[in-house]
A and B are shown apart, each in its own frame.
Chain A
């Protein structure tokens, strides 16, 4: 038991080690000190309860984004539209959050979260439905919808839903009511707890329900699935909708938790980072959690790293790319460690690339 667990963990751990190592070389090439830089990075992400809070806060939307992409991957689909789905989820949740008052928290907060999730589901569902009915390629549609969502949410935050209180000129909504705010208990944001629960729920759905079984079957071999009577079209549409729901929920949690509102230009790139997280987690819903924590840690500590050791924050992007590379190329690590290469866990996500 312990040997196989070690085998599973060995590759990702070594991937992190290698990524960090090459990052250190890059730091040296710029004349910096890796020890100083990494120390600052760790302190910035873990050093005190504030830092831990920040890390968890940053990890939360990454978990949702990663789940969204991972879920779609299971059905053999590539949801590149997580960014747009996250944005609409965020703005509509904020809209419910600030637009209604007088509700008790146990109604207001879930309502806002649900609205955000539904908005994301709709946004993802458009691509899925168009695919199922007209054969429109979901990659095109989701890329387009990303841009549309960006424009739409910017406009909402700058015009009808703008916060015109005081001397504010920033394009953002007013603060959400207290009854719609996600609290923080100690150093743990409740949003993070929610993210972990959703992650477990995803795993349960995929591994223990018949729907999940169908999703995975379609992902493995859609023709066999079709042959055995599964409604492949419905599975694909609903998967995109679920994927969008997860991303939208992530956006909602951001608006109602960390941000307390929706602001234009914020939350940029979170959806795309979800792709990286899902890939790091090798599309495993539970694996998304440690991947998100790792990336969240790096992002939380990056400012301190720059401040204390003058290393540009982009370095963590490069390290992420390297870790991703090593995770996906276990053949290198296994060769180094002389572990026998087992083809069965070679990840094959692109196999389902928009099959039409």
Chain B
């Protein structure tokens, strides 16, 4: 990031903090509620974005995140319901995500099916299968994941509730941001990953097994989406219902691109999106503008378009050079 961009960023952040402080003084309950809602809405999007970015930086388009969320949520819910353990359910969700990631890899990398088709197949199959096997009499029995207070940190006003009093999978997601960032930008694996996404031919000549690394990465990324599904079923909602992913898999793609395919960028984008959603909820709760809910509901999306257009003027959101192309040796 250039110096100018950094300065803009700091200025923006300072302005933001000032605004928050002003609102907090005005109405602490509502401000806390909105910010807590922001972090909450951002978690799933961040996980999806991280899945997408690992795939895309390796050169593979993954538009099947929606299907991965849904089927993993189904698996997590069903297993947790049967075993009575949220933990085992979460693991099952991750496992389903890994499996679907592997399927995507097998199709896109192994069989060289077009990547968009592969992702679409996953989406349709997930929706069809989860509806086909849905059992309405099943319920979770045990409650969903609840907030864990991080000791004295949770007592800090505002920030304590918003950041340090969250359920476990949210903390895990936040930790993963760091893990993925370090992995992508400071490890050998990350360097290789980015290489195969930009110049697979060159990477090949240096001895990197392009296909094998893609296989591995896409499968691994599926695990992140699987965690997202587990989060959705076992932490955010506490049950399963048909098509409950509600388009968030696609939103995650937008968040990923918006965040320039970096974990922290994506999280910022996800927070932004979560904020506009929480804000428009608040407008309704307060009856602020007496605008029809449909218009208030457009807010997050319209604002995103405007910001994307404006920031397009500031700096480009370049795709990895070899994105979407099947790789063939020689």
Q: Taking beta carbons and an 8 Å cutoff, which residues of A are in contact with B?
A: 26, 30, 78, 80, 130, 134-137, 139-141, 143-145, 147-148, 151-152, 154-155, 158-159, 275-276, 279, 312, 314-318, 320-322, 324-325, 327-329, 331-332, 346-356
Contacts and interface: CB of A to CB of B under 8 A. Distances in A.
Nearest to A153: B294
A331 B108 CA distance: 12
Contacts of A159: 292
B111 interface: yes
B61 interface: yes
Given A315-B128, A332-B111, A148 B116 contact: no
A314 B129 CA distance: 7
Given A139-B254, A141-B305, A321-B128, A328 B114 contact: yes
Nearest to B115: A350
B154 interface: no
Contacts of B111: 329, 331-332
A76 to B, nearest CB: 9
A328 B117 contact: yes
Interface of B: 61, 63, 107, 111-118, 120-122, 124-125, 127-129, 131-132, 247, 250-251, 253-254, 257-258, 292, 294-295, 297-298, 301-302, 304-305, 308-310, 312-313, 316-319, 323-326
B294 A155 contact: yes
Nearest to A352: B324
Contacts of B317: 135, 137, 356
A135 to B, nearest CB: 4
Given A80-B250, A351-B324, A356-B316, A318 B129 contact: yes
Given A140-B257, A353-B319, A145 B128 contact: no
A145 B305 contact: yes
A350 B120 CA distance: 12
Nearest to A353: B324
A45 B292 CA distance: 41
Contacts of B326: 346, 348
A136 B312 contact: yes
A176 to B, nearest CB: 23
Given A140-B304, A324-B120, A329-B111, 16 more contacts: A130-B305, A140-B253, A140-B257, A140-B308, A155-B292, A159-B292, A276-B124, A279-B120, A314-B132, A318-B128, A327-B117, A346-B114, A350-B61, A350-B115, A351-B324, A356-B317
Contacts of B118: 325, 328
B310 A354 contact: no
Given A80-B250, A135-B316, A321 B294 contact: no
A317 B300 CA distance: 31
Given A135-B312, A144-B304, A151 B298 contact: yes
Given A151-B295, A155-B294, A137 B114 contact: no
B105 to A, nearest CB: 13
B126 to A, nearest CB: 9
B311 to A, nearest CB: 8
B313 A134 contact: yes
Nearest to B132: A314
A327 B117 CA distance: 10
Given A135-B316, A136-B309, A349-B114, A321 B121 contact: yes
15 contacts: A78-B116, A134-B312, A137-B257, A140-B253, A140-B257, A141-B305, A145-B305, A279-B116, A312-B131, A321-B128, A324-B117, A329-B111, A350-B323, A350-B325, A353-B116
Contacts of B302: 144, 148
Contacts of A139: 253-254, 257
A143 B294 contact: no
A148 B301 CA distance: 7
Contacts of B258: 137, 140
A134 B107 contact: no
A315 B116 contact: no
Contacts of B313: 134-135
Contacts of A158: 294
B128 A317 contact: yes
B146 to A, nearest CB: 31
Contact of A134 (B113, B251, B310): B310
B117 A279 contact: yes
A130 B128 contact: no
A316 B127 CA distance: 11
Given A321-B124, A352-B324, A356-B317, A136 B117 contact: no
A57 B253 CA distance: 33
Nearest to B119: A350
B128 to A, nearest CB: 3
Contacts of A315: 128, 132
A140 B309 CA distance: 10
Contacts of A144: 254, 301-302, 304-305, 308
Given A148-B301, A155-B292, A320 B124 contact: yes
B33 to A, nearest CB: 24
B127 A314 contact: yes
Nearest to B242: A314
Nearest to B63: A80
A352 B115 CA distance: 11
Contacts of A148: 298, 301-302, 305
A337 to B, nearest CB: 16
A353 B113 CA distance: 15
A279 B120 CA distance: 9
A312 to B, nearest CB: 5
A24 B45 CA distance: 36
Nearest to A315: B132
A18 to B, nearest CB: 13
A158 B124 CA distance: 30
Contacts of A346: 112, 114, 326
A324 B292 CA distance: 40
